[in-house]
Chains A and B, each alone.
Chain A
Amino acid sequence: MMQLKPWYQLEGKVFRFRFGTENSEASREAAQTCKQFSPDDEDEQIDDTLVSCYNCMNRRWLIDGVECIQFK
């Protein structure tokens, strides 16, 4: 979890991505540092670059963002 601190913040029980749902660059940077990255089904990927939090099976979409659920 510590390695993702620059990109995520803990809000109650939600480990939320700080950069919203449209920042592919930050999403890729975060995933590059994460040892737990694992791609979701191709049909669920929304970033053209594979290694991206937006494409990870451990991300969960929220109304206004995305959270990482690997630490739950």
Chain B
Amino acid sequence: MKSWLICIDDTDDIGTKGTGEIAQEIAEILSGDEHESCSFITRHQLYVHPDIPYTSHNSAMCFYLETNKSLAMIEQLAIAHLLEESAPASDPGLAILACDSGFDREALIHFGLEAKGQVKTKQDAYDLAMRLGVSLSEHGGTGQGVIGALAGIGLRLYGQDGRVKGQIDLGQELYEEGVELTVEEVLTRSGLDIVVDLSGQQLKSTEVIHLTKKVKAVYCQHQFALLVYRHEGRWCNALKRQLKEY
């Protein structure tokens, strides 16, 4: 069983299926056999600038995969799905990193962080991918998505960036007043790794969290985390504006 990081970018357009949903479908296709598995998907915000042809938000979607499939098979399945599902006006990119390949981790992280604050080019992305042995490919339009796809892998490796795709359902939306669960219960039921406050401090397993409405997770300290804040004397799940930092 080998481990991989896979990231896609720029697959959607206004009103079409989102990149996150396509990433989820690819993850399911690639982890469908026995003993194969994939992680939560993380969404990584990239730079918005007039010189970057993004649709509305410029974010990449990344996931970790454990599979017996070969690189060639992973590429074939992922590309087929991208071609099938990407919006006609999109510029999809796909990056695949073998986690055991002895790659230059810092170089990838550096590229990811730079892509959050400056304009990178396709050539930058291809040059780095070639040097590090990352599979990087484009699948329509201008192919600009290769930049975000490679950057997304770097940001996932960074371990302190990204919101988790989708919502965490702990039954909180069944009740107007929400639910109260201990940290241990939250982690057991959600599959998340840690609960952290806005300063990054981890909460003890016995602490009680008051959960209401939409519950989202983030990727920090290289783990999937529920972000909480102190409100009226109790711990509450973070608001969207607090999650925005990720």
Identify the A interface with B (CB < 8 A). Answer: 22, 24, 38, 40-48, 57-63, 69
Identify the B interface with A (CB < 8 A). Answer: 14-15, 18, 20-21, 43, 48-49, 55-59, 163, 165-167, 213-214, 239-241, 243-244
Residue of A whose beta carbon sits closest to that of B48: A61
Q: Of the candidates B20, B43, B56, which one forms a contact with A57 in the assembled complex, judged by CB atoms under 8 Å apart?
A: B56
- The answer to whether B56 touches A43, judged by C-beta atoms less than 8 angstroms apart, is no
* Main SS class of interface, A: loop
Most A C-beta atoms less than 10 A away, residue of B43, B48, B166, B239 = B48
CB distance from A58 to the nearest CB of B (A): 7
- The answer to whether B18 touches A43, judged by C-beta atoms less than 8 angstroms apart, is yes
**Set of chain A residues within 8 Å of B59, measured between Cβ atoms:** 43-44
**Set of chain A residues within 8 Å of B55, measured between Cβ atoms:** 60
**Set of chain B residues within 8 Å of A22, measured between Cβ atoms:** 241
Q: Of the candidates A38, A46, A58, which one forms a contact with B240 in the assembled complex, judged by CB atoms under 8 Å apart?
A: A46
**Set of chain B residues within 8 Å of A44, measured between Cβ atoms:** 18, 56-57, 59
**Contact A48 B240, CB 8 Å, known A60-B55, A60-B56, A61-B57:** yes
- Counted as pairs of residues, one from A and one from B, with CB atoms less than 8 Å apart, the total is 52
* Main SS class of interface, B: loop
- The answer to whether B214 touches A48, judged by C-beta atoms less than 8 angstroms apart, is yes
Residue of A whose beta carbon sits closest to that of B165: A43
**Contact A48 B239, CB 8 Å, known A41-B18, A57-B15, A62-B48:** yes
CB distance from B126 to the nearest CB of A (A): 26
- Complex CA gap A44/B57 in Å reads 8
- The answer to whether B21 touches A40, judged by C-beta atoms less than 8 angstroms apart, is no
Residue of A whose beta carbon sits closest to that of B238: A48
**Contact A63 B49, CB 8 Å, known A44-B59, A46-B241:** yes
User: Could you list 26 A-B pairs, sorted by A, with CB under 8 Å?
Assistant: A22-B241, A40-B56, A41-B18, A41-B21, A42-B167, A43-B20, A43-B43, A43-B59, A43-B165, A44-B57, A44-B59, A45-B240, A46-B241, A46-B243, A46-B244, A48-B213, A48-B240, A57-B14, A57-B56, A58-B56, A59-B56, A60-B55, A61-B48, A61-B56, A62-B48, A63-B48
- Complex CA gap A41/B14 in Å reads 10
Most A C-beta atoms less than 10 A away, residue of B57, B58, B59 = B57
**Set of chain B residues within 8 Å of A45, measured between Cβ atoms:** 240
Would you list the 5 A-B pairs with minimal beta carbon distance, nearest first? Answer: A41-B18, A60-B56, A61-B48, A48-B240, A46-B244
- Complex CA gap A41/B89 in Å reads 18
**Set of chain A residues within 8 Å of B58, measured between Cβ atoms:** 61
CB distance from B238 to the nearest CB of A (A): 10
